Amino acid sequence: MASAAPLPEGPAAAEKKVAEAATADPETLAADTEKEDGTIVQTDTTLHGFRLGAVVAGVCLGSLMISLDVTIIATAIPSITSDFGDTSQIAWYPAAFTFATCSITPLAGKMAAVFPINRVYLSFMAIFLCGSILCGWAPTNSAFIAGRAIAGIGSAGVAANGMTILVKVAEPRKKPMFVGLAAGCFAIGLVLAPVIGGVFTARATWRWCFWVNIPVVALSFAVISLFFRPPESQKETLSTRLRKLDLVGSAIFIPTVFMLLFAMQQGGQNHPWNSATIIGLFVGSGVMMLLFVAWEWRKGNGAMIPADVVTRRTVFFAVLFAFCHMGSLTIATYYLPQWFQVVEGVDPFQSGIRYLPTAVTQIIMTMTASSLALRLKYYNPWFFLAPIFLITASALYTQFTAFSTPPGHWIGFQVIQGIAGGWGMQMSSLAVQLELKDSPDLLPVGIALVSFLQYLGASVVQVIAGAVFNSELRQQLLGSVGLTAEQMGLLLGAGTRSVRDVADQNFPELLNPVLEAYNTATTRVFFVPLAGAAVAFFLAFGIKWTKIEGAK
C-alpha cells in the first residue's frame, strides 16, 4: 500500500519556521537533516566573525603548547637530573610522553567521532594540564615520569582533534589556511622549545618549562568552552557510545605500540638488539599487531580505525608520507643543536639561537603553503617539493666539517630544511580531510591517524638515527682516534655538554680528533633522513590529484 502524502504545513507552522530562522545565530547557522527516527539534527558547525577567530586562536594555542612539551626538556634534562639526584631513569623523560601520545591518538580520534568533539577536546586538554602541573611540582623521578605520561595522553587528544575542529568550523576555502596556521604554531613549538627550555633553566628553574603551560592552556580551554559549542549530531545512550569506541581494539592496540617503542628505546642501550628481551618485545608487538588487524577487520566500520579509512588510496599514502616526512624532519631538531654544542663549542642557549634559521623559515613556509595550495587548487605539488628540499638539506648536512664549516653554510642549509618542513608538515592532514569530506564521522579518525603516524615516525626514525650515531661514534673513537675502552666510556658517560671538558682534562692532545669523530658521526646520521625523504617522495605518487574544496 502506498504511503499517504504528507499534509501541507499550515500558516502558523510556516510563520514559526520563519521566526526561528530569523532569530538563529548567523555565526552558527546549521543545515538541518532528518534522521530515520524522525529527529532533526544540526550538522553544520561553520563559524564566522569573532567566534571563528576565537576558536582558531584557542586551537592554535593548544597546538603550540603541546608541541613545546615534545622537545622543551632537551636542554633542561641535566638540571632535572641534578635536582632529583638520579640519572637512571633519564630515558623515560621523553619516552613516557611519546609512548602515551602514540598509544592513545587513534582512540582519541575515535572518541571525537562518537562523542561531541568539543567535550572530547576539552577533556584531553584538562588531562594535559594535569600532567603539566604534576611535572612542574614533581618531587621525585617517578612523579615526574608519571606527569609526562599523563601529559602525553592529553597531548594525543589535543593534537588530533584540534585539526578536526578547524576543519569543522572553517568555510571550505579557508580550511587550508587555518590548518596551515595550526601546523605553523605546532612547528613554532617544536623548533623553539629547546631555546625556551634553555632560557627557563638558565634564568629561573626547569619547572617553568611546565608551569608556563598552566595560564596558556587555561586560556585556550576557556576560549574553546565559550565559543565552540557544536550542536549534538546523535542522541544515543552512554552505553551505546561506549560500544562504538571499540575498547577491545584499543586494549589490543595500546600494548602493541608500547612493546614496539619500548623495544626500540631499550635496544642497543640497556639490552643488545639480539637479546631475548628485545626480540621478545618485537615478536610480541608483531603478534599483537596481527591480532589487532584481525579484530579491526572483524569490526568493519565499527572499528577504532575503520577499513573504509585506511583502504582509501589517498589516506593510505598520505599517512605513510606523514610517517616518513615527520620522522626525517625531526632528525635535524636533535642533531644540529648537538653539533653546535660539541663541534662548534657553543652553550645550549647559543645552539638554540643558531637553530633559528630553521625555525623562522619553517614557520613562514608552514603558514604560506596552505594559501599557495589554495591558489594552485591542488596540494599535490607540495608532497613532491617538500621531500626534494629535505633530501637536499640532508645531503648538504653530510658535508659539515669539524673546523671549517662557515656560518653561511649552516644558515643556508637550514633555510632549505625549513622550507621542507613548512611545505610538508600539514599536507597529509589536508589531503585526508579532503578525501573524507563526504564522511564526516570518519574525519576525526582520519586526522588522528595522520597525527599518530607523525608521532610514530618521529620515534622510529629517531631510534634508527641514534643507532647510526652510536655505532659510528664508537667506531671513530676506538679506530680513528685510538681511545681505549676506558677512555671512551669516560667520554660517553659525561654526556654531550661535557665532551670538550672531559677530553681536555683527561687526554687534551686528542681533543681535536675527538671533535672530528663527533662531526663524522653526526654527518653520517643525516643519511637517515635523506633515505626517509626519498621514500616520502615516491609515496607522493600514490596520492590522488583532487581539486581543493572551495578553490576557484
What's the pLDDT tens digit per position in 478-518? 888 888 888 888 887 766 667 888 888 888 888 889 899 99
C-alpha cell at 10: 499550515
State the pLDDT at residue 524. 93
Average confidence (pLDDT) over 426-451? 85
H-state helical runs in 343-475: 348-354, 356-376, 380-397, 407-424, 427-435, 443-475
Average pLDDT (209-230) is 91
Model confidence at 16, in pLDDT bands (50, 70, 90)?
very low
pLDDT of residue 389: 97
pLDDT at 411 (0 to 100): 94
Q: Which residues contact 506 (CB under 8 A, 6 or more apart)?
A: 487, 490
Q: 495, 510 in Cβ contact below 8 A?
A: no
Tell me what the mean pLDDT of segment 141-161 comes to: 91
**pLDDT class of 19 with cuts at 50, 70, 90:** very low
Tell me which of 109 and 23 has the higher pLDDT: 109
Count CB neighbours of 39 within 10 A. Answer: 11
Tell me what the mean pLDDT of segment 298-310 comes to: 84
Neighbour-count burial of 491, counting CB atoms closer than 10 A to its CB (0-12 exposed, 13-18 middle, 19+ buried): buried
Is residue 30 very low, low, confident or very high in pLDDT (cuts 50, 70, 90)? very low
User: Would you place residue 551 in the very low, low, confident or very high pLDDT band (cuts 50, 70, 90)?
Assistant: low
How confident is residue 188, by pLDDT bands cut at 50, 70 and 90?
A: confident
Looking at 2.102.10.10, 3.30.70.100, 1.20.1250.20, 3.40.50.300, the CATH number of the domain 44-230 comes to 1.20.1250.20
- What's the one-letter identity of residue 548? I
- Residue 67 has a pLDDT of 86
The CATH number, out of the four listed (3.40.50.2300, 1.20.1250.20, 3.40.50.720, 3.30.2320.50), of the domain defined by the range 306-552: 1.20.1250.20
Q: Give start and end residues of each alpha helix (H) in 72-174.
A: 77-84, 92-114, 117-137, 141-169
Percentage of residues in the chain with pLDDT exceeding 70? 89
pTM of the model: 0.80
Q: Residue 49 has what pLDDT?
A: 83
Mean per-residue pLDDT for 153-174? 86
Report the pLDDT value the prediction gives residue 9, as an integer from 0 to 100. Answer: 44
pLDDT value for 396 = 96
Query: If phi over 0 gives left and psi between -120 and 50 gives alpha, with beta otherwise, what is residue 153?
Result: alpha
What pLDDT does residue 495 have? 66
Specify the higher pLDDT residue, 91 or 33: 91
Per-residue pLDDT of 333-359, as tens digits, reads 888 888 888 888 887 778 778 888 988
Query: Rounded mean pLDDT of 413-432?
Result: 89
